[in-house]
């Protein structure tokens, strides 16, 4: 299945090519593994690969949980409300216009009820996301803080505040030769600092122990990276209708720890 068909599928079962009336955990896992290999952003260069991979994980999470799957089925396969009997004249004595009007009223009432239920589910899901993602960020920060706290500060000149002003995670194409490359201590994220800053705070530092100064710098980089992801995730959630790659990466970090 291509990415566009997957993202535009009418429901999760169609997206994963599953029968909602006869589904097993084994079928869910097999379909997930097959599509995960196909949609993974590292292998698929489609512009919406990240969005499709995130949606695939969301689908797997819902369909693998019996409670969530039942709630989802109620949303997309709502039971029809009982038909109210018309207590007026017999059907053969009713005018055609009156019958048509009754049918229309029943049809639109059913559609309106489905719309209300769908909005409720959407708000509930969004509320859960708004709670979960900040908690994930806090959890990761606590883990990093535990590691960082074990690294005793060696230089007062290298602090989180001073590092955050000069550190960049994006490759500085225009000034690459003016920057030095590092990797953060816990997450192994690549980052860059200006060579002039490096010279002043590491090579010409009164402490003199370059290795410990670099270790202190890399420890702060983890904390700064997670905080940056949290801010981007919050911004993505405010912009409706767009993918949330930062939120997805934040969730990946949580699962890997």
72 pLDDT above the threshold of 60 = yes
**Coil, helix or strand at residue 182:** strand
CA-closest candidate to residue 116, choices 81, 140, 151 = 81
CA atoms within 13 A on the CB side of 227: 11
pLDDT 10s digits, 216-248: 999 999 999 999 988 988 888 887 666 688 888
CA atoms within 13 A on the CB side of 176: 3
Cα distance between residue 18 and residue 37, in whole Å: 18
In the chain, domain spans: 3-76, 160-255
How far is C-alpha 138 from the chain's CA centre? 15
Q: Quick one: tokens of 256?
A: 């890997």
Q: Write down the pLDDT at residue 238.
A: 83
CA atoms within 13 A on the CB side of 122: 8
DSSP letters for 35-54: HHHHH-TTT---TTHHHHHH
Per the CB < 8 A criterion, the answer to whether 191 and 180 are in contact is no
159 pLDDT above the threshold of 60 = yes
Cα distance between residue 15 and residue 103, in whole Å: 33
Per the CB < 8 A criterion, the answer to whether 194 and 148 are in contact is no
By the 10 Å C-beta count (0-12 exposed, 13-18 middle, 19+ buried), 217 is classed as buried
Neighbours of 227 (CB within 10 A): 16
pLDDT 10s digits, 3-62: 888 889 999 999 999 988 888 999 999 999 999 898 888 888 889 989 988 998 999 999
162 pLDDT above the threshold of 50 = yes
- Strands (DSSP E) found in 157-234: 179-183, 190-194
DSSP annotation of 1: -
86 pLDDT above the threshold of 60 = no
DSSP annotation of 201: I
Superfamily designation of domain 3-76: DnaJ domain (1.10.287.110)
Neighbours of 92 (CB within 10 A): 5
How far is C-alpha 61 from the chain's CA centre? 12
Crossing angle for the helix pair 210-238 and 245-256, to the nearest 10 degrees: 130
Q: What's this model's pTM, rounded to 2 decimal places?
A: 0.41
pLDDT 10s digits, 174-199: 888 999 999 999 889 999 999 999 99
Alpha carbon of 230 to those of 169, 193, 234: distances in Å?
15, 22, 6
């Amino acid at each position: 299945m291509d990415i566009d068909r997957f993202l535009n599928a009418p429901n999760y079962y169609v997206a994963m090519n599953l029968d909602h009336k006869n589904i097993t955990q084994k079928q869910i896992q097999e379909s997930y593994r097959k599509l995960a290999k196909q949609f993974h952003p590292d292998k698929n260069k489609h512009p919406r690969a990240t969005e499709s991979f995130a949606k695939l994980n969301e689908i797997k999470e819902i369909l693998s949980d019996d409670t969530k799957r039942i709630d989802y089925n109620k949303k997309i396969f709502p039971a029809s409300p009982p038909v109210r009997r018309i207590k007026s004249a017999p059907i053969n004595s009713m005018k055609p216009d009156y019958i048509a009007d009754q049918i229309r009223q029943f049809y639109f009432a059913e559609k309106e009820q489905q719309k209300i239920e769908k909005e409720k589910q959407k708000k509930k899901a969004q509320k859960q996301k708004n709670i979960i993602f900040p908690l994930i960020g806090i959890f990761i920060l606590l883990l990093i803080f535990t590691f960082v706290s074990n690294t005793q500060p060696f230089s007062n000149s290298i602090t989180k505040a001073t590092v955050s002003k000069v550190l960049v995670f994006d490759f500085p194409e225009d000034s690459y030769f003016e920057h030095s490359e590092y990797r953060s201590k816990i997450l192994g994220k690549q980052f860059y600092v200006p060579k002039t800053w490096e010279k002043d705070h590491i090579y010409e530092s009164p402490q003199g122990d370059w290795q410990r100064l670099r270790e202190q710098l890399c420890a702060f980089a983890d904390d700064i990276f997670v905080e940056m992801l949290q801010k981007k995730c919050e911004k993505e959630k405010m912009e409706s209708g767009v993918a949330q790659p930062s939120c997805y990466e934040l969730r990946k970090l949580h699962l890997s720890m």
